[in-house]
Amino acid sequence: MSATAMTTSADTPETKVSRFQILRLISRNWLALAAVIFLLLVVACAVFGPWLMGDLIDKPNFRARNMAPFSLSQGWTYVLGADTLGRSLLARLVVGAQNTIGIAFFAVFCSVVIGGMLGLIAGYSRGAAGTMIMRGADIVMSFPSLLLALIVLFSLGPSVTNLILVLAITRVPIYLRTTRAEVLEVRERMFVSAAVALGANHTRILFRHIAPIVLPTLVTIGAIDFATVVLAESSLSFLGLGIQAPEFTWGAMVATGRGYLSTAWWIAFWPGLAILLTTLSLNILSSWWRTYADPQQRWRIELARSKKGIPEKRK
């Protein structure tokens, strides 16, 4: 057997172990497992919700106006109650997940891309370009993010595009400064000096050698920041500067039900609970992943695993 074949056969079990290690560890942490299951449910609602319940979100049923929850007199779709026009709250929750999660996803994605690119330039450049980028980030960070969003949306007008844009701009400095700090350390390593000595241009060094090392950190921060963006979008929708009718998000549903808290509390309660559980699940999963990704903190997960009587494989 050749050395290549021996290496391949020897690496196969380790590859399988690393592939399923995260799933096994999550399955033994009931809190992280519950967070994953709930987030998968939210994603499923965002993907398949409009197809399953799209006809019910705008269909009024005046016989079910402000109908209390946990009643099946109007069908199972009214199990969570109805709003002031008799529309199913369950259907609106399921369909509203698409706008809520979609806006947060694109806002985080844009901020990661823009902040990551600017951070690579600011960290690698030793000239005035890096200084100008950092001063621009300081200007953005000097404004409270919610106040800046209110000013921009009031000036440009509320729309999905403007909402994603303003949420992305307010989060860009976080990724910019993180990327710059990573690049300042990575650019001094030996493999970067070797690439420069071999004649590699700056673009190749940035995107071929430095960016792959910085990307996992940005993905981790993006997962943590996702919950913050969901809350920010819900706050803006609650204030009437988010997505506009006939489209809606969970935050807009809370704003609709705030005038009926004393008579029909369920109109605002269910979307508020969805926002709470989504952000809580994101924070729990992000905290678990941060512990797992840090070699100095991973022993906490391994210790919890060993306490349950699962023997650890020693090297």
Rounded to an integer, what distance in angstroms lies between the CA atom of residue 308 and that of residue 60?
A: 52
pLDDT confidence bin for 300, thresholds 50/70/90: low
Q: Which two tokens stand for residue 105?
A: 């996803």
Residue 115's pLDDT is what? 93
Residue 44's pLDDT is what? 93
Residue 80 in this model has a pLDDT that exceeds 80 = yes
Whole-model pTM: value is 0.78
21-41 pLDDT, tens digit each: 777 777 777 888 899 999 999
- The residue among 276, 245, 243, 238 whose CA lies nearest residue 259 is 238
pLDDT confidence bin for 151, thresholds 50/70/90: confident
178-215 pLDDT, tens digit each: 999 988 888 888 888 888 888 888 888 888 888 888 88
- The residue among 98, 78, 97, 100 whose CA lies nearest residue 89 is 78
Query: How much is the mean pLDDT over the chain?
Result: 81
Rounded to an integer, what distance in angstroms lies between the CA atom of residue 124 and that of residue 183?
A: 6
User: Under a CB-based contact definition with an 8 Å cutoff, are residues 267 and 84 in contact?
Assistant: yes
DSSP state of 64: G
Residue 11 in this model has a pLDDT that exceeds 60 = no
Residue 278 in this model has a pLDDT that exceeds 80 = yes
Q: Which residue has the tokens 């992943």?
A: 289
Q: Is the bond into 246 cis (omega within 30 degrees of 0)?
A: yes
Residue 147's pLDDT is what? 81
User: Under a CB-based contact definition with an 8 Å cutoff, are residues 264 and 84 in contact?
Assistant: yes
pLDDT confidence bin for 19, thresholds 50/70/90: low
In one letter, which amino acid is 66? N
pLDDT confidence bin for 17, thresholds 50/70/90: very low
Report the CATH number of the 3-307 domain: 1.10.3720.10
Neighbours of 2 (CB within 10 A): 7
Domain ranges of the chain: 3-307
Residue 45 in this model has a pLDDT that exceeds 50 = yes
Q: How many residues does the chain have?
A: 315
Q: What are phi and psi of 201, to 5 degrees?
A: -80, 170
Q: Measured on CA atoms in the order 189, 194, 197, 199, is the torsion positive or negative?
A: negative
Residue 311's pLDDT is what? 47
Residue 110's pLDDT is what? 93
